[in-house]
Amino acid sequence: MLKLWSMKQEQQKADNATSGPKKKKVTAAQLRVQKDLSELSLGSTMKTTFPNPDDILNFVLTIEPDEGMYKGGRFSFNFAINQNFPHDPPKVKCKEKIYHPNIDLEGNVCLNILREDWKPVLNLNAVIVGLQFLFLEPNASDPLNKDAAEDLKSNREGFKRNVRAAMGGGSVRGESFERVLK
């Protein structure tokens, strides 16, 4: 306590840092998201939308796969990031009701880095790459929609037909889906 004062004055000479009326600072989470956003590589198949451009912690990512079984569809994901980012992962949910083995009817996504494998060194780009990959390679061994996973495992061609039907707004196994075709 006692020595702090003199120490500090020495530092002050070296440092031309400043003081003055204090205003609200950009938070650590905002700063990190700002950095992550500047490093996104969205390519031609993805884009972001910010309902409130001043709030960079909440946005929508739209993916339009240009290959694979989900080609021609348009899928949007809500990203909700809290002030505890990057300690906490972003919360990501699919906005449409879609037929996908790793996405349930509520829009929950089974992607390891969104939950059990999240680490603060991962960034938003890793998450969007992961999401994009889910449309290229739906994974039957980590099912969130059990029916879709079984279809994919047992009959790949049948699964493809189901994907087309669901994307067109049709029903699969008695469950109706949202039209997500462009």
Partner 1 sequence: MEEEFEESHRTVPKPKGMADPEARRWEYLRYILYRPGPWVPEEATQGTEAVKFLERMKVLVIGAGGLGCEILKNLALSGFKDIHVIDMDTIDVSNLNRQFLFRQADVGKYKAEVAAKFVMNRVKGVSIEAYCGKIQDKDESYYKQFNIIVCGLDSVEARRWINATLVDMVDLEDGDSIKPLVDGGTEGFKGQTRVIIPSFTACIECQLELNAPRAAVPLCTLATIPRQPQHCIEWAHIIAWEEERKGDTLDTDDPEHITWLYQKAAKRAAEFNITGVTYSMTQGVVKNIIPAIASTNAIIAASCCNEAFKIATAMNPSLGAPAEGENNYMMYSGDDGVYTYTYSYEKKEDCPVCGITAKKIEVDGEMYLRNFMDLLAEMPDAQLKKPTIRTEGQSLYYQAPASLEEATRHNLSKKLSELLSSGDEVAVSDPAYTIDFRFQLIFK
Q: Give the pair of three-digit tokens for residue 2.
A: 């006692």
Residue number, 146 or 179, with CB nearest to partner 1: 146
Contact status: 32 vs partner 1 (CB under 8 A): yes
Q: Give the pair of three-digit tokens for residue 17.
A: 């840092």
Residue number, 84 or 176, with CB nearest to partner 1: 84
Task: Find the binder of partner 1 among 69, 98, 109, 166 (CB under 8 A).
Answer: 109
Q: Give the pair of three-digit tokens for residue 105.
A: 């009817």
Contact status: 138 vs partner 1 (CB under 8 A): no
Question: Which residues form the catalytic set?
Answer: 110
How many Cα atoms are found within 13 Å in the side-chain-facing hemisphere of 69? Answer: 23
**Nearest Cα to Cα of residue 142 among 181, 173, 100, 82:** 100
For residues 96 and 182, the answer to whether their CB atoms sit within 8 Å is no
Residues within the interface to partner 1 (CB under 8 A):
1-5, 7-8, 11-12, 15-28, 30-32, 34-35, 37-40, 42, 47-50, 53-54, 56, 83-84, 87, 102, 104, 106, 108-110, 112, 115-116, 118-120, 142-144, 146, 149
